[in-house]
Structure 1
């Protein structure tokens, strides 16, 4: 399916032309038929000469219903721009063109209507000249008469050519809702123009932050299981009351859009925005307070949150002075300012050729960056996080300095704990330390320069040697703490020898690393099973040492404790 919206001044024959094209009147309200005036959006369709269906969204031309006009134009991939031959370009023609430009719609067909009342050629020429001044140099145009049918067939051909371009395949859905109603037997139904993505029955979507399920889909009155953009679609939703939904809300793919009530935007450099505007995006129209940031940037505080991406196009309407200002969303996060000068710094970053939130935020969760509408490089991704390349290099250099300083300040333990590195670098996740480690090595939860990995500090090696000399004659006679202090072995220094694997700590006693195997060799020579007293005598030690040592051997399966409190060496046959 293809979709196109109408645009043009009131009474220039938009609805009449659609009736001639489709055989159906897009004005559906009784008030519209009574007054002969389009008030709200209308929807009709036709079969194109190439066999595909084309859906029309007819918009009001009267300025009083301009919000409805914008709701129809904003979501359309193409526009049928209507100008009457007997009146030519009018004020609302200019307003509608401003809206088309603001929303970035490039595909357009011009139909000069009422050609039975006046020669359409001069109006075609003047209209195309206006469009060319705005950069539109290849717009097809035709004079038509809905009354006589002149030019209608040619218009069908032009519509077929202009609407052939399709959107890129995507699973990211944002359907701006333009109608809500209840259908007997089905429940709540919403309609809209699907501009991107694919809708499927059974899909889970979000509506104003709440999860909803797609019960059914219809295109042009036909039930379908799947709809690909662009298309006009009716969506039957499960377990939600129609009274909870309104025009301007959006059905979106979960976790793929940023729901926000504060955004930073780019506006024309020659425009001074008012303090309050009406923001139009999709079918939404919300009031916003405006805070200028720079020459061409401003922060908008929205009265209601919207689902947005960086790069979305908006129309800002100054209702007081009747001005229309195009705007582009630069930053959907729009983090609050805490210090003097923050606003100016942020404004400077927004004026880059293309604002990059990763450069500003430095470290962002991958899912958040995607929800902002960004496509982060996998090279910058580290698990759940994405790090700006420049910031990562800065962190790597900083970490190298910190680890080097830690090694100088702590010669007994030169490795910096990873948890401490995370704190000093203010990283949001300890796993990110590895991402910025550079040439540093992580060993047993500590960071070391490459030339220090596996190296035992001289003071620790000397302490281990001192301990070994003290116990070598009686290896199972662990020195007491007073004796250890006499040897110059402080608790901290001794702890370093244990961490280095040079000394074994068993309970509150210290032994040589090979003490457990040596003990098993001795105990294997005893009659099996043996008592604690027998083990103490055989190992030439004290109860202070033998009890924790035997428990250590039990825990590692080298000995087994029997019900009578005697033990056996596990590989003994006794």
Structure 2
């Protein structure tokens, strides 16, 4: 049976007994700092293992309750599966408890147990009043109807029942994915003498083994997991849901900070701009102006930034979800769907929270169109997200798609398979992907460019491939252009002639407006036979545009209509064929210059260029003063 791992958070007002309750459940005192002992409050989150009989592994986090330490509370709660909301029977629900409930809601924590502590300090009537007050306060919240247990941590009263309730509620929790890419947001960093740098955190997803090569983001430092501990016990591996300490090799203590993230793949990106879906906290607050400074808590990160609205210039109380963007002062590492809390730095207050739509936000225009775009991204299926990423990037491999969509690797593969099955996606060599509609678009552009080129330059074989690649390069990656050209060639829509690309049905031809003039020049060249004049002399006096003469010359040579007899002379194909036949019939297998002259009856002025042309074409082979036919049978 597969082992399961969960993390529970103890949350509630200061001095309501969270640390004592944690010790009653686990026999571990989580107040580890000297100042915590002296002041009787938790400053940093404390951690303890809760032993079970069925092999379930549970970590309990005792998060700070004092308002001054709310940022540690947020960091501690991030990543938990279930919260035990602690309310002291002698004080009841406090304002700070309600703020904690808001924070837990924004962090997406759905499972809750209410632990009413210090019950030995009050009578039964008071207990009932406290219980009713809690039920009223939780009504309409995400924890409406949460089970409650009355306990006294010092006497142990109610502790067994609380344990049973915890185990029952954990059965309703969706188990964390241990098969995705490893990610651990760091919430504690310290050094151990003789060991070096140690970090702690709750593994959000994936798994890690001792000796694994990791990357510390956002700094991009390469590190190694030299040792792994789970609740002070050395382990060979750890997985999603576990509270883990990792001894890192290759990094100094001062290079690591709370909020950094350890990852085991290059699927994760550091980002400074996030698109978010924001829900406001209950109660009134001073309106938040466009680009106002805000503090963002996500995972274990706590960074300043500016909030950017696209449909308003000021945000006041509203029950509606606000789709907006936060431009951060420092880079963080997040994925789509990660939760965040938004606080105002001055005066300090929780504004709201929500989840991240797009980890790598772009620059958008103010207006309803951008809000609609964000809504589409928010509500999109994995297949939609893949298509959006490919519409933006044109061509991506699996790594690029994970970064562009922030989807889990398994979910991404399912989305790709669905896209390929439906024909909406194309798979290119080296497991790269593109949209079928992008191929249709470039197909139209390629054929359109070829049609235009053929119309402008009808005598050319086609457009040079390098020129075509360059003209399309501004809109498409070269790999995708090459793929498209090959695909269109296989479909018989385009043709490759050496380094030239042409439409399959195209053949070089004389332009309609100059056809008669050019045919007249060709006829004159044919008439002059082997004793052709300089090529320029045929062109002189004609109205042919100078810009078209090189194409006309190239057309005659490439089509085989003529041969280059010398640098400044051409010979018509008919004259060439007749001269070869005449020379062959007037000589033997080998012949001298004189014999050739006698056979053709022309001067050396015309004879030498003709013989050199035969040599260059491989029809004859020169040997000293003689030439022999390369293939006498021809």
2:536 matched to 1:482?
yes
Q: What residue number does 1:380 align with?
A: 425
Q: What residue number does 1:333 align with?
A: 360
SS at match of 2:120: coil
| Alignment partners' CA distance in 2, 1:559 and 1:167 | 80
Verify the 8 A CA contact 2:214 2:262 in the aligned structure 1: no
Verify the 8 A CA contact 2:138 2:145 in the aligned structure 1: no
2:288 matched to 1:273?
yes
Please report how far the alpha carbon of residue 498 of structure 1 lies from its aligned counterpart in structure 2 after TM superposition.
Answer: 5.2
1:354 to 371, 379, 398: 379
2:140 matched to 1:133?
yes
Structure 1 residues 115 and 422: alpha-carbon distance in aligned structure 2, compared to 1, 3 A threshold: farther
1:40 to 32, 37, 44: 44
| Alignment partners' CA distance in 1, 2:594 and 2:154 | 118
| Alignment partners' CA distance in 1, 2:560 and 2:70 | 79
Q: What residue number does 1:308 align with?
A: 334
SS at match of 2:198: strand
Please report how far the alpha carbon of residue 269 of structure 1 lies from its aligned counterpart in structure 2 after TM superposition.
Answer: 7.3
Please report how far the alpha carbon of residue 147 of structure 1 lies from its aligned counterpart in structure 2 after TM superposition.
Answer: 1.4
SS at match of 1:363: helix
State which drifts further: 160-169 or 78-87.
160-169
Cα deviation digits, residues 316-336 of structure 1 (max 9, x gap): 001334133113223333333
2:350 to 323, 329, 338: 323
TM-score (norm 2): 0.74
Gaps of 5+ in 1: none
1:161 to 156, 162, 168: 168
Verify the 8 A CA contact 1:76 1:195 in the aligned structure 2: no
Cα deviation digits, residues 105-132 of structure 1 (max 9, x gap): 2232222222222345544454345444
Structure 1 residues 239 and 522: alpha-carbon distance in aligned structure 2, compared to 1, 3 A threshold: farther
SS at match of 1:76: coil
2:75 to 52, 63, 71: 71
| Alignment partners' CA distance in 2, 1:199 and 1:502 | 72
- Give the CA RMSD over aligned residues: 4.4
SS at match of 1:67: helix
| Alignment partners' CA distance in 1, 2:597 and 2:356 | 79
Please report how far the alpha carbon of residue 15 of structure 1 lies from its aligned counterpart in structure 2 after TM superposition.
Answer: 0.7
Cα deviation digits, residues 199-234 of structure 1 (max 9, x gap): 233223243242423232222233333322111112
Please report how far the alpha carbon of residue 302 of structure 1 lies from its aligned counterpart in structure 2 after TM superposition.
Answer: 1.0
Cα deviation digits, residues 435-465 of structure 1 (max 9, x gap): 499888232276666xx53545465998999
Verify the 8 A CA contact 2:391 2:438 in the aligned structure 1: yes
- 1:381-420 map, 5 Å: 381=426, 383=428, 401-413=448-460, 419-420=467-468
| Alignment partners' CA distance in 2, 1:254 and 1:532 | 76
2:224 matched to 1:214?
yes
State which drifts further: 130-139 or 407-416.
407-416
Q: What residue number does 2:316 align with?
A: none
TM-score (norm 1): 0.81
Structure 1 residues 568 and 258: alpha-carbon distance in aligned structure 2, compared to 1, 3 A threshold: farther
Q: What residue number does 1:453 align with?
A: 505
Verify the 8 A CA contact 2:229 2:246 in the aligned structure 1: yes
2:471 matched to 1:423?
yes
| Alignment partners' CA distance in 2, 1:269 and 1:61 | 22
Structure 1 residues 99 and 455: alpha-carbon distance in aligned structure 2, compared to 1, 3 A threshold: same
SS at match of 1:15: helix
Please report how far the alpha carbon of residue 421 of structure 1 lies from its aligned counterpart in structure 2 after TM superposition.
Answer: 7.2
Please report how far the alpha carbon of residue 385 of structure 1 lies from its aligned counterpart in structure 2 after TM superposition.
Answer: 6.5
| Alignment partners' CA distance in 2, 1:504 and 1:143 | 104
Verify the 8 A CA contact 1:264 1:298 in the aligned structure 2: yes
Verify the 8 A CA contact 1:102 1:313 in the aligned structure 2: yes
State which drifts further: 59-68 or 262-271.
262-271
State which drifts further: 530-539 or 126-135.
530-539
2:212 matched to 1:202?
yes
Gaps of 5+ in 2: 313-321
Verify the 8 A CA contact 2:7 2:243 in the aligned structure 1: yes
